[in-house]
Amino acid sequence: MAVSDQEINTAVAVTGRFENAGDPWRGVTGDFDGMGISCGVLQWNIGSASLQPLVKAVGQAVVLREAPTIGPDLWKACNTGVATGLTLVRGWQTGTRLKATPAKELASLMGCPEMKAQQTSRIRVVAEKADTLAKGWAQAAGRSERTLQELIWFFDLVTQNGGLKGLTHADVKAFIQTSTPGRADDVVCDWLLAAPAAWWGRLDCIKNAGLWRDKITPAQLDLFALSYLRSGLSTPRARGVVMNRKGALAFRKGWVNGQLFDFAGQF
């Protein structure tokens, strides 16, 4: 079964809620997660080099038309190395918050027809990659069909983290089996409760430890454990926020970016 437009819309609506308020096409955020700036429906960003292809595709003329003040630096940021790009876009911020003019111009660029077309084409590419990963995961678990929840989980993974970095269903089963029987979810919650102060989303980690402890069902455990193992392969400061996002999707409820999300009934 190919991924449907309705499933793509649901995946966008669910994962987009973590960072976007209002019009998701125009959503922009600052460097709260170390990615420099994050823009648009799927919060494409400089740090993972996912924003750069969109900016290049619309062309310099469109960038300068929609972002006359920051456009030259944005074009340079998207046509140089990631480290230089991050330095440039961080110059538009106070702390991790975008200043008024950069925020306005980035929103204008992301919402213009040319950029919306680029976003749309890439959303389906992401969805198809997520669909392939979700199907492979389901097959490894002994099932013939993936679920909508799995599609959404992998959609967020491809968007935010790229991929599994070699993790397999066998790794998840090994983690569950080698944990004290019935304690795999507690291992994860203990880890969250001990989140270092330097982690992004540390307060959410602590809240989620209380929210999730002893409530993960057998049906949720594999995806929850995968969330934990994959977050451990992220850069150290990002591990907490990765677990918060993926755990919220596995449990269908969780604290992310200071807000409690409840997806019961949505997937």
Structural domain containing residue 104:
5-118
Q: Is residue 215 part of a domain?
A: yes
Does 16 share its domain with 98? yes
Secondary structure class of 261 (helix, strand, coil): strand
Does 76 share its domain with 172? no
Residue where a domain terminates, one of 80, 95, 118: 118
**In 3D, which of 156, 186, 133 has the Cα closest to residue 256?**
156
CA–CA separation, 179 and 169 (whole Å): 16
pLDDT per position as a tens digit, 61-100: 999 999 999 999 999 999 999 999 999 999 999 999 999 9
Q: Is residue 148 part of a domain?
A: no
Number of structural domains the chain divides into: 2
Does 10 share its domain with 111? yes
CA atoms within 13 A on the CB side of 126: 28
Q: Is residue 14 part of a domain?
A: yes
* DSSP H or E run through 115: helix 113-140
Q: What confidence score (pLDDT) does residue 1 get?
A: 64
Q: Is residue 157 part of a domain?
A: no
Is residue 109 pLDDT above 80, yes or no? yes
Does 108 share its domain with 188? no
Q: Phi/psi of residue 147, each to 5°? A: -100, 165
Is residue 60 pLDDT above 90, yes or no? yes
pLDDT per position as a tens digit, 236-253: 999 999 999 999 999 999
pLDDT per position as a tens digit, 173-224: 999 999 988 899 999 999 999 999 999 999 999 999 999 999 999 999 999 9
Does 97 share its domain with 184? no
State the pTM of this model.
Answer: 0.80
